[in-house]
């Protein structure tokens, strides 16, 4: 009888606007306070357990490295390269917006961070050049989905921790899906821009020499994902160590190589990363406490049985998961869903022979798309707040981009090779 009450309380608290971490914590407190033999001390212990984990320490490191690398001066170099590569295409600046997210994704593991950069730097230029503001905002939000999939990615890191899957493989497995997302969005941009008459940013393709010049300027920044993946592949670093190395590398490149960041800038970057880390980790901890309550009440077993009752065909069940996560992703925050659903779903699919790395990419991509779909989407909120458009205005322009994202999701779900080919090639079977 307790669990329906917990779920009802959670729904009510979330609807009232209680922040997600607090709503999850308060709802699970009902369980911890009312069930005999369980103490709220367990709740606090479950929450603190996620911060006592060495693997999850990688989360703040990658957040910090991303925050340093995407500062003004550095992000302009990357933007220059993106412009040289695709600025000559129809809908030039929108294409640049998408490609820029691929590059930013190599430095930052968060869709919010990427969307915030494009919203601040690119959207004003786009509007000035005649793009409609909601369209520019929609491209920015949709391309925010790329960053968490291109390594490093916070969601993949957390999945790897919960499902006990190699983070190196997950990261490398994200490269092809990330590029497919970019391709899909660029096609969508092409169609919409052709219809609206959004022009090219430059009349001709940039000469090779100019592309090389921009690439060399951005090289130090673009080397970061190479450093991370190289270290993980060779087994030189654990993911946490790779995060710390990335953080220090970012500071050195920002202060000494590019000289875009002074020692005084580091304080605010640390403060910003601290708060961002705390927000994610508090949700993670509260979801962890809720998960423990669910396990106590045997909810995962019941749900797994219900899933098997529908079908035991892998493809049918994957479709079901796609649909379930897309719907849940619309109304709930991704990290919380990842923590709660991974332990429930992963064993079912592993048993059916789905590769753990493949499944991880499917789940994380699915939930990241949820971050741009209304009514609840963190990337959506970020872009709306910065650009100054309403959620409704942005949503009206989202259609073609959402379609592109979902098509790629299905490609990635039903062609496991798109995920597995590269890690198997680089790291062996």
Partner 1 sequence: MTGPGRDAARGPARPSAGRRIFDRVEELIGGGAFVAMTAIVFVNVVFRYVFNDPIPGADELATLCFTWAVFVGAAAGVRQRLHIGIEFIVARFPPRGRAAVGLAVAVLMAAFAGLIGVYGIKLMLSGHFKRTPVLQWPYTWVYLAIPVGAALMLVRLWPIAAKHLARLRGAPAGGLGAEAAKP
CA distance 128 to 207: 26
Q: Which is nearer to partner 1, 284 or 408 (CB)?
A: 284
Least distance to partner 1, CB of residue 327, Å: 16
Yes or no: say if 122 and 78 are a contact pair by the CB < 8 Å rule: no
Yes or no: say if 97 and 140 are a contact pair by the CB < 8 Å rule: yes
Yes or no: say if 54 and 26 are a contact pair by the CB < 8 Å rule: no
Yes or no: say if 94 and 81 are a contact pair by the CB < 8 Å rule: no
Yes or no: say if 103 and 176 are a contact pair by the CB < 8 Å rule: no
Give the residue from 170, 221, 232 showing the smallest Cα distance to 66: 221
> What φ, ψ does residue 218 adopt, rounded to 5°?
-90, -5
Q: Which is nearer to partner 1, 96 or 138 (CB)?
A: 138
Least distance to partner 1, CB of residue 333, Å: 6
Least distance to partner 1, CB of residue 252, Å: 11
Q: Which is nearer to partner 1, 60 or 300 (CB)?
A: 60
Within 13 Å and on the Cβ side, how many CA atoms surround 162? Answer: 27
Q: Which is nearer to partner 1, 47 or 104 (CB)?
A: 47
Least distance to partner 1, CB of residue 294, Å: 19
Q: Which is nearer to partner 1, 172 or 380 (CB)?
A: 380
Q: Rounded to 5 degrees, what angle do the CA atoms 261, 266, 269 make?
A: 110
Yes or no: say if 182 and 99 are a contact pair by the CB < 8 Å rule: yes
Least distance to partner 1, CB of residue 241, Å: 5
Least distance to partner 1, CB of residue 133, Å: 16
Enumerate binding residues for partner 1 (CB under 8 A). Answer: 13-23, 25-26, 29, 39-41, 43-45, 47-48, 51-54, 56-57, 60-61, 64, 116, 236-237, 240-241, 243-245, 247-248, 267, 270-271, 273-279, 281-282, 285, 333, 374-376, 378, 381-382, 385-386, 391
Q: Which is nearer to partner 1, 97 or 395 (CB)?
A: 395
Q: Which is nearer to partner 1, 61 or 401 (CB)?
A: 61
Tokens of 389: 């458009």
Look-up: residue for tokens 């949709």? 142
Least distance to partner 1, CB of residue 330, Å: 11
CA distance 194 to 119: 22
Contacting residues for 265 by C-beta, under 8 A, at least 6 apart: 71
């Amino acid at each position: 009888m307790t669990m329906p009450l917990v779920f009802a309380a959670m729904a009510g608290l979330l609807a009232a606007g209680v922040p997600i971490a607090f709503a999850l914590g308060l709802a699970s407190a009902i369980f911890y306070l009312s069930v005999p033999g369980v103490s709220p001390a367990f709740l606090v212990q479950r929450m603190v357990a996620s911060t006592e984990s060495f693997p999850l320490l990688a989360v703040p490191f990658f957040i910090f490295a991303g925050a340093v690398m995407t500062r003004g001066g550095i992000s302009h170099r990357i933007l220059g390269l993106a412009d040289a590569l695709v600025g000559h295409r129809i809908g030039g600046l929108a294409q640049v917006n998408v490609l820029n997210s691929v590059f930013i994704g190599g430095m930052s593991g968060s869709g919010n961070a990427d969307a915030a950069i494009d919203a601040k730097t690119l959207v004003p230029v786009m509007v000035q050049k005649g793009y409609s503001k909601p369209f520019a905002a929609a491209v920015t939000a949709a391309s925010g989905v790329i960053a968490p999939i291109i390594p490093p990615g916070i969601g993949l890191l957390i999945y790897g921790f919960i499902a006990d899957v190699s983070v190196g493989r997950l990261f490398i497995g994200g490269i092809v899906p990330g590029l497919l997302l970019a391709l899909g969005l660029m096609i969508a941009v092409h169609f919409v821009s052709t219809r609206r008459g959004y022009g090219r940013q430059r009349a001709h393709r940039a000469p090779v020499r100019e592309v090389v010049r921009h690439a060399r300027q951005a090289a130090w920044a673009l080397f970061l994902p190479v450093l991370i993946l190289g270290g993980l592949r060779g087994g030189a670093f654990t993911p946490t160590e790779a995060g710390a190395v990335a953080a220090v590398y970012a500071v050195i490149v920002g202060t000494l190589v590019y000289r875009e960041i002074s020692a005084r800038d580091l304080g605010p970057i640390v403060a910003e990363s601290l708060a961002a880390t705390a927000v994610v980790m508090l949700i993670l901890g509260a979801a962890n406490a809720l998960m423990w309550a669910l396990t106590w009440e045997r909810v995962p077993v019941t749900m797994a049985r219900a899933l098997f009752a529908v079908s035991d065909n892998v493809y049918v069940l994957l479709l079901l998961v796609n649909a379930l996560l897309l719907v849940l992703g619309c109304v709930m925050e991704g990290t919380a869903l990842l923590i709660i659903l991974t332990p429930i779903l992963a064993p079912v699919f592993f048993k059916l022979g789905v590769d753990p790395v493949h499944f991880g990419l499917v789940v994380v991509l699915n939930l990241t798309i949820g971050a741009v779909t209304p009514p609840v989407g963190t990337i959506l909120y970020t872009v709306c707040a910065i650009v100054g458009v309403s959620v409704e205005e942005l949503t009206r322009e989202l259609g073609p981009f959402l379609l592109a994202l979902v098509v790629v999701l299905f490609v990635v779900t039903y062609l496991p090779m798109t995920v597995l080919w590269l890690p198997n090639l680089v790291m062996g079977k």
